[in-house]
Amino acid sequence: MDVNASWSYHGAMSAETNAATGVAAGAGLGFDPIARAREQWVEQGWDAAADGMAAITSLMRAHQIVLARVEATLRPLGVTFARYEVLMLLWFSKRGSLPMKVIGSRLQVHPTSVTNAVDRLEDAGLVTRSTHPEDRRAMLVALTPAGRELAERATKALNTDVFEQPDLGPRDVRSLVDVLTRLRARAGDF
């Protein structure tokens, strides 16, 4: 994979698609499709919505780019980002185990998504399920030694290949986190 790419998914390459991420690169378009869409919004008289549209569309596209990069880094390790998040939640917990309910509320995903992720982690021998001793409705999910080891390897890979190469400049990174923290706060995220 492209070592100098940072968040970039094709770096200095001129190819139109990058096999590592599977994301088609628009290099050569010569214009920013989101800026163009914003202009079209204004042309239609939708001025009041133009900036919001651009912001949301930018968020969608940036998510797509970054997720592809993260998944490409995790793929050789045999986990997806969704499952990695579950592993790290358990890794940081004192006992190394948590009820399904807690996992879902921390990750803000649907209960069935937790069931799905834990099913696959269990099949891979990375976690175990056991009934909660004080509430037989609840399931305790616990990290196995293999799961703990994989969590550490995956984190090392993500840190060096993705998180330490934000490709954005420290000011932009801080600004991005600040703005999105306000957005999440107003959305009731915490």
76 binds its own copies (CB under 8 A): no
| 55 belongs to the binding site for DNA (CB under 7 A) | no
Which of residues 70, 100, 143, 154 is near DNA by CB under 7 A?
100
Closest by CA to 152, choosing from 73, 85, 91, is 91
The single residue listed with the structure tokens 């869409």 is 37
Integer CA distances (angstroms), 151 to 36, 38, 96, 119, in order: 42, 41, 12, 17
For its own copies, the binding residue among 1, 20, 25, 77 (CB under 8 A) is: 25
Residues 63-82 within binding reach of DNA (CB under 7 A)? 64, 68, 80, 82
Quote the radius of gyration of the chain (alpha carbons, Å). 20
* Amino acid identity for residue 152 in this structure: E
Binding site partner of 189, from DNA, its own copies, none, Cβ cut-off 5-8 A by kind: its own copies
Tokens at 71, concatenated: 């998944």
CB nearer to its own copies: give 77 or 128: 77
Which neighbouring-strand residues pair with 107? none
Question: Which residue from 23, 126, 141 is spatially nearest to 80, judged by alpha carbons?
Answer: 126
Question: From the CB of 36, what's the least distance to its own copies, in Å?
Answer: 9
Cβ pair 81, 70 in contact under 8 A: yes
Task: Give Cα 172 distance to the centre of its chain.
Answer: 19
The CB-of-51 to its own copies minimum distance in angstroms stands at 5
42 is a site residue for its own copies (CB under 8 A): no
Binding DNA (rule: CB under 7 A), the pick from 110, 153, 174, 182 is 110
21 binds DNA, rule: CB under 7 A: yes
Strands (E), the chain: 97-99, 127-132, 135-143
| Ranges within 111-140 binding DNA (CB under 7 A) | 111-120, 129, 132, 135-139
User: Would you count residue 184 as binding its own copies (CB under 8 A)?
Assistant: yes
94 binds its own copies, rule: CB under 8 A: no
Q: Which residues bind DNA (CB under 7 A)?
A: 19, 21-23, 64, 68, 80, 82-83, 99-101, 104, 108-120, 129, 132, 135-139
